[in-house]
Structure 1
Amino acid sequence: MPELPEVHALAADLDGRLGRRVVERFDVTSFAALKTFDPPVSALHGMRVAGVGRHGKFLDVTLRPDADESADGDAGADLHLIIHLARAGWIRWRDAAPVPAARPRGRSAGPLAARLVLDDGSGVDITEAGTKKSLAIYLVRDPADVPGIARLGPDPLAPEFTEEVFAGILSAAGRAQIKGVLRNQSLIAGIGNAYSDEILWAAKMSPFKPANMPAADVRTLYEATGRMLREALERADGLKASELKAEKKSNLNVHARFGEACPVCGDTIRQVIYADSTFQYCPTCQTGGKPLADRVLSRLLK
């Protein structure tokens, strides 16, 4: 799943490619992916891309009526094409004019979920691999109309995300496990399974540690959060969308490294499996050498 650093880099790449271009059409081939109906996607025809940004892990393509084509010169109201790539979604740039997309069907038409075509024939494909489809596309007048954006917590790289704000979030979470708190988008926006593993490894903290922790630990975790996210942003800066997945995977220290050696202490990286996710950690660096309880393994051993 793309997280804050990858979505930030995707937004920058798309902003350079889409910026100031006019939309020829927007075809949706996965009916389930489109979560809104008003305004209709046909409203995008003839609108100009004003910019591409992000809200947490949501991409935001801002579109503006083309004043040059408006009879009265009124620029009108902006629209926002919001994309949440979920676990297996991605954006693929196309230089050449694509074959027209198929008409929407009741279920996803293969990996292609939607296609944005620009006035010069270039554009982007929004795709989703696998059979479990959770990619979401919204066309709204205000980003806050998207429920997931409306309930987002603060951005961990924003200037207002101070150590004091972070401490307040952790204190309010009480004895909730810190791994889950870092991933909770309503508390902190943009951090997912991979970077929460990386942050906790850098902070030398157990994923099961209670969120309400001593001030010294709060500072350690706050600094690790900023450092790991900024380093990932720096690595992703200037990369094309097609290069981001490989860059992320090659620079992870513990996440998705089960069975490999920790790059700091050399201990074997272990994992915990839940119903719908898996996380990794280093026992020596994070849990005093003790393996964490793996609920799936525990059930198998009964």
Structure 2
Amino acid sequence: MPESPEVDALAGFLRTHIVGRQIAGLELVEYGALKTRGRLTSELVGRAVTGIRRFGKHLAIDTEGPSLVVSFGRAGWMRWSGEPTTDAATTTTATAASTDATGGAAASTDATPTAATDAAKLTTATTSAPTIAVLSFADGTELLLTDGGTWLSLGLWIVDEPAEVPAIAKLGPDPASADDTADQLDGVLAGRRKQLKALLQEQERLTGIGNAYSDEILHAARLFPLTHATDLDEAQRAALFAAVRSVLGGAFARQRSVPIDELKARKVAAMAVHGRTGEQCPDCGGTVADVPGSKGAAQYCPVCQPER
């Protein structure tokens, strides 16, 4: 699942490559992806892209008219395709677009052999995921919207304002924001008899964190994932806030220069515990295990994160 660091890196790519381009059409391969039945894809035709905005794990492609909002869901993503075939004005050259989309400088990681293998497999899966819709531009370039899941999770909205998308309207504060404070996190935790793992993924409370980064944050904070928020003392709350900032901050910095078709794979390669069942914890040497009751979907280190 794309989380805020990957979506933010994708937003940066799109700002460089599609802002200024004129939309030629939005072709739907899977009609079920379009959630705004009262709006026509033709409303986007002829409009120039004016900006890109991130709302948690959602992206808004703004135009001179309506915005196209993309919610990636569990397995949605994008691929850049083609080179300009006309003299239509763009903000970038085709050479830069081609290079950045497929072979730009990648952030370094200390991936284990297993992580590197998993990352290579995921890169292949990302580039071969089925196309759900095609956003084409007047110069012949295309942005392919894909979904590699067993069920369709990618959603598209044509709206006048992104807040018209129900999931965006309900979003809580973004912990990646420079304005985020420890007091805000305390407010999220206050009075919540809810497990930390679930609470971190509650988009109405904290936006942009999903299954993978919640595992990494709790590992960094040395907190057992099934601990209830109300059971944390002051020191543990401070550790959790520090972990949110450090894990997300590191991920944002790490993903910033990675080609978009490698972002998901680089995310996997950088994980300390998520997806590492049976492997050695990089911090203590213990064995990473599945979170009880998660059916293999979430991981932690029983040594670093003991149940208390």
Gapped runs of 5+ residues in structure 2?
86-128
Q: Which residue of 2 aligns with 1:15?
A: 15
Counterparts in 2 of 1:220-231, with a 5 A limit?
Answer: 220-231=239-250
Q: Is the 8 A contact 1:90 1:126 kept in 2?
A: yes
Q: What do the CA deviations read for 1:187-240 (whole angstroms, capped 9, x no partner)?
A: 000000000000000000000111122221111100100100010011111222
Q: Is the 8 A contact 2:225 2:291 kept in 1?
A: no
Structure 1 residue 277: Cα displacement: 6.9
Paired AA for residue 215 in structure 2: D
Counterparts in 2 of 1:129-140, with a 5 A limit?
Answer: 129-140=148-159
Paired AA for residue 81 in structure 1: L
Task: Indicate whether 1:262 and 2:249 are aligned.
Answer: no
Structure 1 residue 131: Cα displacement: 2.4
SS at structure 1 position matched to 2:189: helix
Structure 1 residue 88: Cα displacement: 1.2
Q: What do the CA deviations read for 1:145-195 (whole angstroms, capped 9, x no partner)?
A: 00000000000022332100110110132x210110000001000000000
Out of 249, 252, 257, the position equivalent to 2:271 is 252
Q: Which residue of 2 aligns with 1:5?
A: 5
Q: Which residue of 2 aligns with 1:51?
A: 51
TM-score (norm 2): 0.82
Q: Which residue of 1 aligns with 2:258?
A: 239
Task: Indicate whether 1:144 and 2:163 are aligned.
Answer: yes
Counterparts in 2 of 1:115-130, with a 5 A limit?
Answer: 115-130=134-149
Q: Which residue of 2 aligns with 1:111?
A: 130
| Change in CA separation of 1:34 and 1:202 when aligned onto 2, cut-off 3 Å | same
Paired AA for residue 222 in structure 2: K
Aligned-pair identity in percent equals: 39
SS at structure 2 position matched to 1:132: coil
Q: Which residue of 2 aligns with 1:203?
A: 221
Counterparts in 2 of 1:208-219, with a 5 A limit?
Answer: 208-212=226-230, 213-219=232-238
TM-score (norm 1): 0.84
Q: Is the 8 A contact 1:38 1:139 kept in 2?
A: no
- Larger RCO: 1 or 2 (CA < 8 Å, sep 6+): 2
Larger radius of gyration, structure 1 or 2? Answer: 1
Q: Is the 8 A contact 1:12 1:53 kept in 2?
A: no
Q: Which residue of 1 aligns with 2:291?
A: 272
Q: Is the 8 A contact 1:55 1:149 kept in 2?
A: yes
Q: Which residue of 2 aligns with 1:26?
A: 26
The count of corresponding residues between Structure 1 and Structure 2 is: 264
